[in-house]
Amino acid sequence: MAKLYFYYSSMNAGKSASLLQSSYNYQERGLTTLLLCPALDDRYGQNKITSRIGISAAAQGFGRDEDLFELLTVARQTTPVHCIMIDEAQFLTKMQVHQLGRICDELDIPVLAYGLRTDFQAEPFEGSQYLLAWADNLKELKAICHCGQKATMVLRMDDQGQVVTEGAQIAIGGNADYVSVCRKHYTAQAGRMSSAPSVNTRLA
């Protein structure tokens, strides 16, 4: 039976690069992959997965209201799909994670999801929360804090380089806006966390 995999980490662990390498491995063997990415993440252009090391590939964008099971059903009408790979999977909804499970169980197609585990307030994203609960296989990808320890947390920075502790959970940004750190340095730099995490969306 096909499985649902969740590869999670803080930022700068090579999630997108790992996804693209896995897709290449399938294609090298004559198999077809369907690459998906959230439409709201347009840092490198629409419908595109790009790693910070410079490699990229075209992908199909999806919105929060999109039925991923139906999306795959339509895609398979024109080409076979042997594996689905999803970048920035933290932006999935609970229902979409359920749909990925259906793809594995009913269509016997493996799904590889790559994403952040927690946000800048150390709160889980909706997609990550349910992937951690429902995925068949969990794998942590390693990022490094400036102290050399494993980075498991993410700090959000403002334009002056100061740590931000409140705001919308989703704010699309890159290395200039976020820093991956270990828990010790997250606690030291973020101080007290907001008691009421925001669920609004802001795009940078």
> Could you tell me if 55 and 12 lie in one domain?
yes
As given in the structure block, the two tokens for residue 65 are: 């209201």
Q: Is pLDDT larger for residue 121 or for residue 198?
A: 121
> Could you tell me if 88 and 54 lie in one domain?
yes
Q: Is the entire prediction scored with pTM above 0.75?
A: yes
> Could you tell me if 102 and 12 lie in one domain?
yes
- What three-state secondary structure class fits 149? coil
- Residues 77-135 have pLDDT tens digits of 999 999 999 999 999 999 999 999 999 999 999 999 999 999 888 899 999 999 999 99
The total number of structural domains in the chain stands at 2
Q: Is pLDDT larger for residue 40 or for residue 22?
A: 22
Catalytic-residue membership of 166: no
- Residues 172-193 have pLDDT tens digits of 554 458 889 999 999 888 864 4
> Could you tell me if 113 and 164 lie in one domain?
no
- pLDDT for 199 beyond 70: no
> Could you tell me if 167 and 77 lie in one domain?
no
Place of tokens 């359920």: 98
> Could you tell me if 185 and 156 lie in one domain?
yes
> Could you tell me if 166 and 83 lie in one domain?
no
Contact of 108 with 2, CB cutoff 8 Å: yes
Owning domain of residue 157: 150-202
Domain of 173: which CATH number? Answer: 3.30.60
> Could you tell me if 138 and 156 lie in one domain?
no
The one-character DSSP state at 125 is P
Q: Is pLDDT larger for residue 103 or for residue 45?
A: 103
> Could you tell me if 22 and 82 lie in one domain?
yes
As given in the structure block, the two tokens for residue 142 are: 């390693």
| Last residue in a domain, options 95, 116, 142 | 142
Euclidean distance between CA atoms 37 and 74, whole angstroms: 17
Domain of 26: which CATH number? Answer: 3.40.50.300
The pLDDT value recorded for residue 27 is 96
- pLDDT for 196 beyond 50: no
* DSSP H stretches of helix in the chain: 15-28, 68-75, 94-107, 126-134, 183-190
- Residues 140-157 have pLDDT tens digits of 999 999 999 999 999 988
Euclidean distance between CA atoms 167 and 180, whole angstroms: 18
In the set 88, 106, 123, 166, the catalytic residue is 88
Q: How many residues does the chain have?
A: 204
Element (H, E) at 101: helix 94-107
> Could you tell me if 112 and 184 lie in one domain?
no
- What three-state secondary structure class fits 127? helix
